[in-house]
Amino acid sequence: MVQLVGPLRKELADSLSTCKVLVVGAGGIGCELLKNLVLTGFKNIEVIDLDTIDVSNLNRQFLFQKKHVGKSKAQVAKESALTFCPTANITAYHDSIMNPDYNTEFFRQFILVMNALDNRAARNHVNRMCLAADIPLIESGTAGYLGQVTVIKKGLTECYECQPKPTQKTFPGCTIRNTPSEPIHCIVWAKYLFNQLFGEEDADQEVSPDTADPEAAWNPEDTAARATASEKDGDIKRVSTKEWARSTGYDSVKLFHKLFKDDIRYLLTMDKLWKKRKAPTPLDWHQLRNSGPKDESVGSGLKDQQILSVWGLCKMFQHSVETLRTMLQEKGEGAELVWDKDDAPAMDFVTAAANLRMYIFSMNTKSRFDVKSMAGNIIPAIATTNAIIAGLIVLESLKILSGELESCRTIFLNKCPSLRKKLLVPCILDLPCANCYVCASKPEVTVKLNVHKATVLCLQDRILKERFGMVAPDVQIEDGKGTILISSEEGETDANNHKFLADFGIRNGSRLQIDDFLQDYTLLVNVLHTEELERDVEFEVVGEAPDKAPPPQPNKEEVNSVTNGNKDSAQPSTSSKAPADDDDDIMVVESDEEGASSSSAAAAAAPSSATKRRHSDAETGESSSKRLRMDQSGAAAAPTDDDEDDIIALD
């Protein structure tokens, strides 16, 4: 007769009480997950999160209270979870999982890793560390009503990077408020600003500098102090952006100076943010009026497709503020406006504000037409979605601990029921992609660039770190001499940074051997020289595998060759059951706080260009091999009615 401990078999219950697991992220999904784990019987848990608690977190991250604002999420989550199970052993780290201290040996101490992350870079990193340590990883993500959970196991399933991901559409608040690096960041900020000034105010849509940005203050006490200070400046009670704007009569020049001069100057005092970034440049209305060019547009063409000069943007900002102020007054006291991209004054306001911010942060400005096409729908974080996904993570973890990896599934949570009237749609895990540049036995890619224009710094930062997610790459040229192009040792090859690749004899057909010892990851890069890249495009990755003749049949030596993270991992390490997908926010959607994970995630949220995802959902724009199989079998998940071009998930 089977012995039970509560609802679990005794053997499984004993396993839960002794195994050690890692939770990466203590936000929306992380809070629910931590609570679920201790109540299920997990006793040895480590949780890591770099973030601090913001007021806007309190509506869904229930382990936090107002008194915790400014404190470490990981530490407070630990303390709150212990109230559910005081006998649990929980260790909290207020740190980045990408810190070199958390190396392969650190990961090997766990029997299982569970991601509750908010960005693709961290997901890529944890994926590689789990592959290197040969530890099962459960990925997860949410975006509004959508969610996904998947399991990743080396040699058995797709890894997080087996399928290409769409451009990230979710961004942390500190990126929007403090360190925008892409035009979409500025457009989101401008839409938030519209609501703060003219619409319904939302704590999740704050636009002022984020004083509790964890990157600006690495000391938890400093972060907490800043968060507290942000609520009160001495004895001066801070008022909302809307209240302040009303007190000025919506004076466009005063608004301009507050948003584009004073706030930017304040950001400059957060000097840690600008050690590795180009600092923003404040704007002054009067200086621009007196010295700036008076031509309001640059170039010709249709009005909406013209790029406005800085002064032209200033005039558009002024005119749109005055028009919106009049519209607000006509609606009466306490009225609110609703942003609509088809409403001319609202669209003008967002275009002007977004472009002025782009200019301040040294980005190329966009036409009104471009801004309108990028300004999509914003999906709010929903607490119940996080709760469902966290529960599914625990269920998958129980399968893994029971030794039933073959029964694990990728599970989609959909907004509308499937044809079988199910909101939860399980899919069999996909096998590893043979051409994956991360988990293949010999990872290899081809990069197309102009060797006479591409610098070593571009190769390091834009290609290896940003595109391929490396942390500390070492680069050696396969030129017969073993020339070291980039070293992860600080300062060792800095003199090479601004030299062109051609200066080192790199040309069409050259091969670069890349090693990231932190991630226990190697990659061979084939250089394809071209002078025909589009304007402002520095490089292109040719497919997901190099352009070359079909590889020869492997010989015995190749079969036994070293794979990333393991010398004998060319063969599956456990059963034959297949594997997972990923993407971001929704696992295959990239999101802000509880991002997502695998290739099938594309089915849950965002478009993907992978070959196996050529079948695309007409309404969601998503495509995935798993969704395709489900469609063919008649058990497809219903479309999700997200028909906007840009989906920005806040959790």
- Annotated binding-site members for ATP: 25-30, 49, 57-60, 73, 96-97, 118-123
B/e letters for 290-303, b = 16+ CB within 10 Å, e = fewer, are: eeeeeeeeeeeeee
Could you tell me which residues come within 8 angstroms of residue 525 by beta carbon, excluding any fewer than 6 positions away? 444, 445, 446, 447, 511, 512, 514
Tokens matching residue 199: 């619409």
Task: Determine the length of the chain.
Answer: 651
H or E stretch covering 425: strand 424-428
* Alpha carbon distance 316, 305 (integer Å): 15
* Alpha carbon distance 513, 444 (integer Å): 9
- Compute CA distances 193 → 205, 241, 245, 352, 494, whole Å: 8, 9, 11, 12, 40
H or E stretch covering 445: strand 444-449
* Alpha carbon distance 602, 624 (integer Å): 6
* Alpha carbon distance 165, 161 (integer Å): 8
> Which residues are designated catalytic?
174
- Compute CA distances 99 → 126, 382, 421, whole Å: 11, 30, 44
Contact 340, 376 (CB under 8 A): no
Can you tell me whether residue 480 is helix, strand or coil?
coil
**DSSP string across 187-222:** HHHHHHHHHHHHS---GGG--S--TT-TTT--SHHH
Specify binding-site residues for Zn(2+).
159, 162, 436, 439
Contact 147, 586 (CB under 8 A): yes
* Alpha carbon distance 205, 189 (integer Å): 8
